[in-house]
Amino acid sequence: MTIVAELKKGDKVILDGEVLIVENIEFSKIGKMGKSKCRLEALNSKKEKKVFILQTDQEIELQ
């Protein structure tokens, strides 16, 4: 397990029960609710792009 803020391009993560390879990650500034978020673009095994919006302090499972 790691937090989203420590991810980088090429990492393999498990989201929605699938192994995904991080293709792009963008971080936003702290918003009104006091939490910063990130936009995570990842490819699955069929090379389909999936986009997730996650909080930067959220834990995520690595493969």
Q: What angle do CA 49, 42, 61 make, to 5 degrees?
A: 140
Question: Among residues of the chain, what percentage have pLDDT more than 90?
Answer: 62
Is the pLDDT reported for residue 47 higher than 80? yes
CA-to-CA dists, residue 29 to 8, 35, 54, angstroms? 18, 8, 13
Write down the domain spans for the chain.
2-62
Is the pLDDT reported for residue 22 higher than 90? yes
How far apart CA 21 and CA 31 sit, in angstroms, is 27
Q: Which numeric CATH code is attached to 2-62?
A: 2.30.30.30
Average confidence (pLDDT) over 40-47 = 93
State residue 42's pLDDT score.
95
